[in-house]
Structures are given as C-alpha cells and as structure tokens.
Amino acid sequence: MSDTHKEAARLRGEARTAGVEARVREAMVAIQKEMAANKGIYPENGGAVSMNEVSRRAKISETTLFSPKQKELGKNVKAWVESLKKTQIVGRKKVQRSVFERSEDWRHKYLALQDAHIATELDLQDAKVQLQDAEKALAELKHKYERMLEQMRAGAPSKITPFPKGNR
C-alpha cells in the first residue's frame, strides 16, 4: 500500500471515529432532553438507560464503545450513565416504582375529588329541600294575605271614626 492510500485510509478512519463520537454525544443529549420532558424518567426501554441504550440510540454496534479506538468514549459514556443513575430515576424497577407512586398520588386525588363531589351533591340536595320548604311557606303567607285582603274588603263598616274637624 502506498503512503497516499495509507493516509487516505487513516483520514477515513478518523472521520468515522469522529462521526461515531458525534452520534454518541447527540444520543446522550437526546436522552437527557427526553428525560427532562418526562419529569426525569426515560420514556423508552422501560426507563433503563445503559451503555447499550446509548449505542442503540447512536445507531452503532454495542461493542463499538469497547473497541480500542473508542475506549475513551466508552469510559465517558459509562461515567455519564453512572452519574444519571445517581441523580435521575433510571432503571426499570425504579421507573416502575415511580410510576406506581405517581399513580397512587393520582388515585388519592381522584378519590378526594370524588368525595368532594359527593359532598357537593348532598349540599345541593339539601339546598333544594330548603328551597321547596321556603316556597311552601311563601305560598301559605300569600294565601293568608289574600284571605285577609278579602275579609277587609268584604267586611262590615269600619268601627274606626275620624275626629271631627273644626272647633274643639
């Protein structure tokens, strides 16, 4: 092989290595964004983030990060995954527990809303009964008022006499 071919092969290899590194970094950034958008939980792979998941997202072979040329990148990815495990909810069991805890929180909120709704319905029924009682009492008072007006109009001449005007 001539020197120009060796040089061209070396440049292609360096470009390929740089491309792999760029894809891995993009995958890591994408994973972090997805976790931030989902309240700290990775939405894919059952919530598990690993070197294999980063490789899958970067569309490289799982063994690439363990090759001699990518060993440093593999160490960086491993350190990144470890730091995620310390600060985020990562892993299938932790995610399941977190999802269970969230579902329990929502269940409690639902039950509290249900209780509040029942209490409001009971208050509404009580208010309707009070309204009916008040309407009955109003109808009775109107009836008594009408009877009294009729008695006054149809009644005998009044026993009230006015004082005479004039001299005393």
How much is the pTM?
0.50
Across the strands, what pairs with 41?
89
Domain ranges of the chain: 3-90, 93-153
Backbone angles phi, psi at 19, to 5 degrees: -65, -40
Cα–Cα distance, 31 to 50 (Å, whole number): 11
Q: CB-based contacts of 10: which residues, under 8 Å, 6+ apart?
A: none
What string of pLDDT tens digits covers the 168 residues of the chain?
678 888 888 788 778 878 888 888 888 888 888 888 877 777 777 777 788 888 888 888 888 878 888 888 888 888 888 887 776 666 556 666 666 777 888 899 999 999 999 999 999 999 999 999 999 999 999 999 888 888 777 776 666 666 777 765
Cα–Cα distance, 14 to 73 (Å, whole number): 14
Scan for tokens 């309204």, then name that residue: 131
Q: CB-based contacts of 58: which residues, under 8 Å, 6+ apart?
A: 20, 23, 24, 26, 27
Whether the Cβ atoms of residue 17 and residue 70 lie closer than 8 Å to each other: yes
